[in-house]
Structure 1
Amino acid sequence: MAMDFFAAQDSARRRTGVLLVLLCCAVLALIATTTLAILIALQLMRDDPQPWSEVFSQTSGELIGCVAAAILALVTVGGLMKWAKLRRGGRVVAEALGGRELHHDTQDANERRILNVVEEMAIAAGLPVPPVYVLEEAGINAFAAGRRPADAVIGITRGAIEYLNRDELQGVVAHEFSHILHGDMRLNLRLVGVLHGVLLIGLLGHILMRAAPARRSSGNRKGKDSGAVVVFLGLALVVIGAVGTFFGNWIKAAVSRQREYLADASAVQFTRRPEGIGQALIKIGSHMEGSRLNAKQAHEFSHLYFGEGTRVSFQRLLATHPPLRERIRRVLPQWEGRFDPTLLQTPTDAKDEVAEDSHAKPQDARPHTDTLAERHAAPLHSVTAGAGAATLAIAAMGQPDTRHLSAAKGVIAAMPPAFKAAARSSVSARALMYGLLLSADDEVRAIQLETLDHAARAEVNEALAMHAEGIETLDERLRLPLVELALPALKHLSREEALQFKGCISLLIEADGRVGLFEWALRRILLQHLGLDERRRMRPKRQLSELKAECAVLLTHLAAAGQQEHDQIIAALGAAEAGLPFALDIDGSSMDTAALDAAVMRLRHVRPQQKALLLAAMARCVEHSGQVLPREAELFRAVADTLECPVPPLLGEKE
């Protein structure tokens, strides 16, 4: 039941198109019923009511047009108002449900466990590590929310944290990452916006009904009649709004149910442990609270949850999730069909999660590994990519598996504990990013440090002095994973701090008068995920053949990153060109990183299936030499990230 990433993106767009058609039909029905209600109200106000046949025959297009414009305006304005609130991303949803963000310095074993699970699975999926919010709810539930991966969050209830063991949490989190990877989140938030617009029709009806008594205050017959008409019209709008909301929720439920089956199947593929997600679902059925949420706005976001979060009338019509027993049997066919409350014993595996971090404090800048880290550090070869690694990673987009999860665990375990601890603070995380950009040339380094003395905050410079020596000796294969671990803390920067951070990054990069590929990759990733990129007008999706020059610039940089000799670079470009529907004109390709940046930003607007062609060409280019060097892997990952294509870790030959 797995689906490749680009097919999933096309499917998401098709579902959006079907949704728009259904919503247009719903809006047309609202216009028709509202017009009918107005005609009835006008009839009631007449001293000499006309036959209905004459009323309908005399109904002008102008009246219908005015009603249509009013309904469309109301639904659109209501939807846009809600969408404006949701622009901040998934944080808005989590906070609306009463969520509290978990900080990475927590010493609570259960909280530490869920944070570690999310970190591992994000790196394995090639996604930025999302913030995690806990909902103080007894039910077992979770959700993923956001407009795009860069602003996504994972929400999880206290009940899930306390009652699920690590394997079960992995299954639940893998299910939510599937919604992120398959483009479900943005569609889900659009549904929230449209339904809010429909809800305003009913709210307008309530306003008219409350205003009716004022119409009767004059005491004359006409005032009483008009007051009664206003009450009737208000009541009609309340009913119309309720019916519109019902059908809107029906559409929402129909769209949501099939996506839950796909997310369950994807979770099984990701973890290769159907028992994980299966047992989590069984525990929901065994729990007295089930997956129910008690937050005031829980119903509004019901289609986002892992399990049915609210009580549903017309269960078969409006349930946003398939029946629990059916979901369980799909992942665990051997299940006997019994729920057992004794399963809800507090797991004991959480206490191991804080063991590694307890050995290193953020102030300890020496890059060492403790005993626990050493036991897990062996898979570091997983970031030393072998032949075919990029092609395999592209094939795994949207459907990573246990090999990628193992590689992510290996990378995290190999990371010096001091750096992992430092990446969890917004102050020291900035220091780590600055440290990654410090030059090996003493003269340039001195200029960079002097620049930071004037441009950066004092506490950040103090943290940099503490970690600089360790960063200098950090394995280059761990540089991008360190950036990924630091992103959640960096997202906590205020607007002023973020702009100052962006300025310092630019000053460090430009200190020697040139921009290296790693410097370009680091800046591009930070701008992409911290919302610091320049605002660009939305452009229509384009064909790759319209951007031949940009392809040539990108692939030339990629070939030069892994080859030294001119003939080797030409051969790598020939390998890249083999699967493209056009020839590469590399004679005029600039090797300036400013040209690379401009090219990649334009390539962002290529259609999803065309992005697949581009990534395949990039893969052939970097794999031409038989191995993928760290600098090639960094550039490959940074470009894929900018294209919003989540590429899992490049696997080593052992995987």
Structure 2
Amino acid sequence: MNFFEQQDIARRNTKRLVALLILAVLSLIAVTTAMFAGIMLYMQTGNSAYHMETAGLGFWASLGTLLDWQTVSGISMVVITVVLIGGLFKYQQLRRGGRVVAESLGGRLINTDTRDANERKLLNVVEEMAIASGAPVPPVYLMEESAINAFAAGHTPQDAVIGITRGCIEQLNRDELQGVIAHEFSHIFHGDMRLNMRLVALLNGILLLGLIGHFMVRGAMYSSVGRSNRDNKGSGIAIAGIGLIIIGYAGTFFGNIIKAAVSRQREFLADASAVQFTRDNSGIAGALKKIGGANAGSKLEAAHSAEFSHMYFSQGVSTAFNSLMATHPPLSERIKRVEPSWDGEFTVAAAAPEPDSSAETNSASVDRERFFKASVLAAAVEQIGEASSENLSQAQQQLQQIGEPLREAAHSPIGACAIVFGLLLDTVNSDLRKRQWQSLADHYSKALLHEWRDTVKQAATVNELDRLALLELCLPTLKSLSEPQVQTLQQAMDMLISADNKTDLHEWSLRRIVTHQLGEPNFHSQHKQLRQMRNSCQLVLSYLAHAGNDNTAEATQAFNQALELLRMNELPLLDRSQLTIAALDKALNELNRTRPLQKPQLLKAMMRTIESDGKITATEAELFRAIADSLNCPVPPLARQ
């Protein structure tokens, strides 16, 4: 289940989706034309002139006198225009990312400082999964429904959210909940989430004709009140509306077939990925068994549940011709795939017991070595999108090393900002650190700075191997800040970084992750070849070469080794003076357009650059993971030896 192959499959499925959409639109045009022809024929009943004109003609020839090519072309243009307008309107609505879906389903953003035991358990599982996989921690929404279900929604990992029902967190134990969350992370890793968002937008256009029909019928019924029986205008509008409703049902039929065709096989992949991630098939299998045994099952009651039916963990709505149009495979088939020995009995769901608190707090000793072998980074790259149970165990250890006070602080807006500033404060030069702290008074009040002081001190002393994990804990809270608050945060960060008139690797890494995760999602298609972005490759690899080597000759050697992998040996190493932060940010944004199957080449070239001396520092590893994050390639934490 290679991450980049699955990303490429999702990209190709988008083309398949467009082809299916075109077939659906052609079908709608045919249905609309047939209905129009039927109405025209009905209107000629009793028309002697028409019957005299068509005497002796066959049915199709008679129909041709009423339905010429100009009429058919007009009908086609109207249908296509409505579908395009509906799709573009929905796409614009969805630009805000996964939170639009969560809010449409009645989801409530779980406060990261919640004291509810089940909500806290859920957030802990999500944080562990995200840190283990190297992905940003997504905001989590809770739907007050008794059914057992969940979803992941968004365009990119930047704007992804996870939604989950009350029934899921109350009826599943920790292992089962972990299996469900791992399933949803698989959808994030493998590009299914973005495909699903596009599917919603495209199908909205198909369904719009039916919605217009419903509106016309309601309008006609309202306007007919008080009209005389001789006024047939309202009834004519109602008839047209009913016709559009019928066409809308045809659109729903085609839309459900498209959903089923696109999503069912991806559910099997996500189940398998969840087992691979947790190394435990009983978690995902147990959750599916409880769905089968629960009264509410996985069926959702939210008003817009049908619109997003293909996004759920399990079948969320009932459909006609269920075997044909179901967006998810049957429960029994999914369970058999992950647990072949299953006896066919579902589990009656009950309130899940609270996990043993001692298991939550137990941590093993961790080697705090500052250097990694080159092979460790290579292994992490191979695990992109396929994190293991070892990664999960390491994430739990990291959370223990960070400590409960900082974890609590990361769950509040004030504490999260304080942690970011604490990670940026200089830990060597006390005079510089004092100037940095004083400069924060230009953006924040003295009272707030006083409140931050203890948290900032704690964050500044966090081991460098745990800095990214701590920052990732802050991301969901930082995403809840208003736009002015985000701007103030970024301005303060830039001021702290520029206090010594230079930007080191650690500072750039933190800044890049925050600005990338809090910025607008990247909607660019991924279709470019690396050869088309030679200048961007040259700039990023030059930056990495200089970052890991003070000697120009050694930097050149590292740079040339990377170029050999990309077959771009003609490019020279750029001078340090050409490597500005703005240029690097621009180059990374451009490289995000790379085709999924070519990203491994780029990552391996980057890896070759920083490992040229045979070892990798924690700061270099941090830099590599920050750049990979910018390319939406979540690199798991490096294994500690």
Do the structures match in fold with TM over 0.5? Answer: yes
Q: Distance in 1 between matches of 2:358 and 2:250?
A: 52
* Equivalent position of 2:471 in the other structure: 483
Offset of 1:228 from its aligned partner? 5.5
- Provide closer, same or farther for how the CA distance between residues 414 and 384 of structure 1 changes in structure 2, counting only shifts above 3 A: farther
* Equivalent position of 2:543 in the other structure: 557
* Equivalent position of 2:267 in the other structure: 260
Offset of 1:37 from its aligned partner? 2.3
Q: Any conservation in 1 of the 2:299–2:317 contact (CA below 8 Å)?
A: yes
Q: Distance in 1 between matches of 2:311 and 2:225?
A: 46
- Provide closer, same or farther for how the CA distance between residues 260 and 457 of structure 1 changes in structure 2, counting only shifts above 3 A: farther
- Provide closer, same or farther for how the CA distance between residues 578 and 157 of structure 1 changes in structure 2, counting only shifts above 3 A: same
* Equivalent position of 1:368 in the other structure: none
Bigger Cα displacement from structure 2, 15-24 vs 503-512: 503-512
Q: Distance in 2 between matches of 1:619 and 1:174?
A: 27
1:614 is aligned to 2:602: yes
Q: Any conservation in 2 of the 1:113–1:350 contact (CA below 8 Å)?
A: no
Cα-to-partner distance string for 1:287-320 (whole Å, 9 max, x where unaligned): 2222222222222211111111222321101211
Q: Any conservation in 1 of the 2:125–2:178 contact (CA below 8 Å)?
A: yes
Cα-to-partner distance string for 1:355-387 (whole Å, 9 max, x where unaligned): 7xxxxxxxxxxxxxxxx4xx4152455985332
* Equivalent position of 1:86 in the other structure: 94
The aligned runs of 1:475-514 (5 Å cut-off) are: 475-514=463-502
* Equivalent position of 1:362 in the other structure: none
* Equivalent position of 1:204 in the other structure: 212
Q: Any conservation in 2 of the 1:431–1:460 contact (CA below 8 Å)?
A: no
Q: In structure 1, which of residues 621, 627, 630 is the aligned counterpart of residue 615 of structure 2? A: 627
1:548 is aligned to 2:548: no
* Equivalent position of 2:199 in the other structure: 191
Q: In structure 1, which of residues 525, 533, 539 is the aligned counterpart of residue 513 of structure 2? A: 525
Q: In structure 1, the residue corresponding to 2:71 is in which secondary structure? A: helix
* Equivalent position of 2:394 in the other structure: 407
Bigger Cα displacement from structure 2, 629-638 vs 41-50: 41-50
Q: Distance in 2 between matches of 1:252 and 1:124?
A: 31
Offset of 1:167 from its aligned partner? 1.2
Q: In structure 1, which of residues 29, 33, 36 is the aligned counterpart of residue 34 of structure 2? A: 36
Q: Any conservation in 2 of the 1:45–1:229 contact (CA below 8 Å)?
A: no
Specify the code of the residue in structure 1 equivalent to 2:586: A
Q: Distance in 1 between matches of 2:569 and 2:290?
A: 57
* Equivalent position of 1:571 in the other structure: 557
Cα-to-partner distance string for 1:454-492 (whole Å, 9 max, x where unaligned): 212445422432233333322122221111110011011
1:580 is aligned to 2:566: yes
Cα-to-partner distance string for 1:131-157 (whole Å, 9 max, x where unaligned): 111222222111111121111111111
Specify the code of the residue in structure 1 equivalent to 2:185: F
Cα-to-partner distance string for 1:508-559 (whole Å, 9 max, x where unaligned): 22222222222222111111111268xx895774221233332222222223
Q: Any conservation in 2 of the 1:376–1:410 contact (CA below 8 Å)?
A: yes
Offset of 1:104 from its aligned partner? 2.2
Q: Any conservation in 1 of the 2:625–2:635 contact (CA below 8 Å)?
A: yes
Cα-to-partner distance string for 1:17-72 (whole Å, 9 max, x where unaligned): 11111110110111122123233334444544464524325634332232222212
Offset of 1:105 from its aligned partner? 1.8
- Provide closer, same or farther for how the CA distance between residues 540 and 153 of structure 1 changes in structure 2, counting only shifts above 3 A: closer
Q: In structure 2, the residue corresponding to 1:87 is in which secondary structure? A: helix
Offset of 1:426 from its aligned partner? 0.7
Q: Any conservation in 1 of the 2:497–2:503 contact (CA below 8 Å)?
A: yes
* Equivalent position of 2:64 in the other structure: 56
Q: Distance in 2 between matches of 1:330 and 1:305?
A: 19
- Provide closer, same or farther for how the CA distance between residues 232 and 345 of structure 1 changes in structure 2, counting only shifts above 3 A: closer
Q: Any conservation in 2 of the 1:434–1:464 contact (CA below 8 Å)?
A: no
Q: In structure 2, the residue corresponding to 1:435 is in which secondary structure? A: helix
- Provide closer, same or farther for how the CA distance between residues 63 and 464 of structure 1 changes in structure 2, counting only shifts above 3 A: same
* Equivalent position of 1:366 in the other structure: none
Specify the code of the residue in structure 1 equivalent to 2:571: D
Q: Distance in 2 between matches of 1:296 and 1:607?
A: 37
Q: Any conservation in 2 of the 1:144–1:305 contact (CA below 8 Å)?
A: yes
Please, what TM-score do these two structures have when normalized by structure 1?
0.90
In structure 2, stretches of 5+ residues that fail to align are none
Give identity over the alignment, percent. 45
Q: In structure 1, the residue corresponding to 2:256 is in which secondary structure? A: helix
* Equivalent position of 2:328 in the other structure: 321
Q: In structure 2, the residue corresponding to 1:579 is in which secondary structure? A: helix
1:416 is aligned to 2:422: no
The aligned runs of 1:138-157 (5 Å cut-off) are: 138-157=146-165
Specify the code of the residue in structure 2 equivalent to 1:599: A
Q: In structure 2, which of residues 134, 154, 157 is the aligned counterpart of residue 126 of structure 1? A: 134
- Provide closer, same or farther for how the CA distance between residues 129 and 538 of structure 1 changes in structure 2, counting only shifts above 3 A: closer
- Provide closer, same or farther for how the CA distance between residues 455 and 209 of structure 1 changes in structure 2, counting only shifts above 3 A: closer
- Provide closer, same or farther for how the CA distance between residues 87 and 459 of structure 1 changes in structure 2, counting only shifts above 3 A: farther
Offset of 1:267 from its aligned partner? 0.5
* Equivalent position of 2:422 in the other structure: 435
Specify the code of the residue in structure 2 equivalent to 1:9: Q
- Provide closer, same or farther for how the CA distance between residues 609 and 92 of structure 1 changes in structure 2, counting only shifts above 3 A: same
- Provide closer, same or farther for how the CA distance between residues 563 and 416 of structure 1 changes in structure 2, counting only shifts above 3 A: farther
